[in-house]
């Protein structure tokens, strides 16, 4: 932190490295072989909606772009209990590269149109044969990932989260500050 940032109490925001989303397909292989977790084919981007025609036009264009191809993903837009919007896509679980491309396109489009400050995270869920679920969460403002494993209403499997963190430590930029591992209760796909 520089002198000006110390005086004003502001720090520079580190730009997101959205290309990190393309590390997920190889991480998915590692999760499958090491922990028996397979991708569900779902993926979503969470952001804060903005009032105004420009934002709604951008969101509408994104949905149209993703829905435009017959082989494209199924797309849904929902709002959670906290007022955040989730743009969810679904692809064949074996096509993680296409899913990550969709998520990247949503993030970069919102960023390019000036709505990057409203981006919260991207989420890619995984499951195993026992029914356990875990999501790889990409924190937009931090440029890092963390696992989130809900087990029920307001409950999470911390042991599974730590196992996934340790399994993927060498493949993904993992968020080291555990206080940033926020619970995404009711997130689409989880």
Where do the domains of the chain lie?
Answer: 16-180
Q: What is the dihedral of CA 66, 69, 74, 76, to 10 degrees?
A: 40
- Residue-wise pLDDT for 65-83, tens only, equals 888 766 767 888 998 888 8
Provide the whole-model pTM: 0.87
More confident residue, 55 or 173: 173
pLDDT band at 126 (very low <50, low <70, confident <90, very high): very high
pLDDT of residue 112: 87
């Amino acid at each position: 932190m520089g002198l000006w940032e110390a005086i004003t109490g502001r720090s520079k925001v580190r730009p997101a490295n959205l290309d990190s989303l393309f590390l997920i397909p190889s991480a998915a292989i590692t999760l499958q072989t090491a922990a028996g977790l397979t991708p569900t084919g779902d993926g979503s981007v969470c952001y804060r909606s903005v009032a105004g025609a420009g934002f709604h036009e951008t969101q509408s264009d994104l949905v149209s772009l993703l829905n435009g191809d017959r082989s494209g993903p199924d797309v849904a837009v929902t709002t959670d209990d906290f007022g955040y919007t989730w743009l969810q896509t679904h692809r064949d679980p074996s096509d993680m590269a296409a899913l990550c491309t969709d998520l990247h396109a949503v993030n970069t489009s919102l960023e390019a149109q000036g709505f990057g400050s409203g981006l919260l995270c991207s989420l890619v869920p995984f499951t195993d044969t026992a029914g356990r679920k875990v999501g790889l969460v990409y924190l937009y403002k931090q440029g890092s990932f963390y696992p989130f494993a809900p087990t029920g209403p307001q409950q999470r499997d911390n042991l599974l989260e730590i196992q996934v963190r340790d399994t993927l430590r060498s493949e993904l930029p993992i968020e080291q500050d555990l206080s940033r591992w926020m619970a995404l209760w009711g997130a689409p796909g989880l």
